[in-house]
Amino acid sequence: ILNRGIRVLSGEDGLNWPLLALGASGVIGVVANFAPKLMRQLCDAAAAGQMVEARRLHRIVHDLAKYAFSETNPIPAKTAVAALGKCREEFRLPLVTMTPAKKDALLNALARLHAAGASSLGEGTRYIGAFRAHGLLVPVWDLAGTGRGERLVSSPPRTGWS
């Protein structure tokens, strides 16, 4: 498929590294909602052929993915984004807040990420909107503090920014 010019994106956080190692061009993942800098570093390392670094970053992403899927998506992702101060932790039925034990585990994983100096967002990062791709709403973060959005997928520019 890759040899025929078809772009492949990983849509499963646990398979990001294996697919990137095989030539996938990017990811659309749940962890990217609350750790966009980390996910971007993983994609950049894989694209640059830095396999040891990409593998190291994938282990971190994989660990976060366990917590991100400990309850029904998007509950853990929204809980994590709320903990980072980017939204309110509010849910509409049938979604409800995370169970206390699972929420504590998720927040502890985020705290470990920050304590290790691997900020999930990065200095000056801010959410600036989203765009639709293949029916999905993809978050856009200003990772570099430039005021322009950085998508976490390596795909051709699309219209529909909001």
44 vs 128, which has greater pLDDT? 44
Q: Where are the alpha helices (DSSP H) in the chain?
A: 16-21, 36-47, 51-68, 75-83, 100-115
pLDDT at 143 over 70: no
Question: Considering only CA atoms, which of 108, 110, 112 is closest in space to residue 34?
Answer: 110
Cα 11 to Cα 155: distance, rounded to the nearest angstrom: 14
Quick check: 138 and 27 in contact, CB under 8 A? no
Q: Which of 1-15, 48-62, 106-120, 140-154 has the lowest mean pLDDT?
A: 140-154
Query: What b-and-e string marks burial along 54-63, b requiring 16 or more CB atoms within 10 Å of the CB?
Result: beebbebbee
d(CA 97, CA 141): 25
pLDDT band at 96 (very low <50, low <70, confident <90, very high): very high
42 by Cβ neighbours in 10 Å (0-12 / 13-18 / 19+) ranks as buried
Of residues 119 and 39, more confidence is placed in 39
Mean pLDDT of all residues in 90-107? 92
Average pLDDT, integer, range 24-33: 86
3-class DSSP assignment, residue 109: helix
pLDDT, residue 117, reads 61
Local structure of 73: helix, strand or coil: coil
Residue 67: name the closest of 33, 106, 32, 113 by CA.
106
For residue 16, pLDDT over 50 is answered with yes
> What pLDDT is attached to residue 154?
35
| Distance between CA atoms of residues 84 and 120, nearest Å | 9
DSSP symbol at 140: E
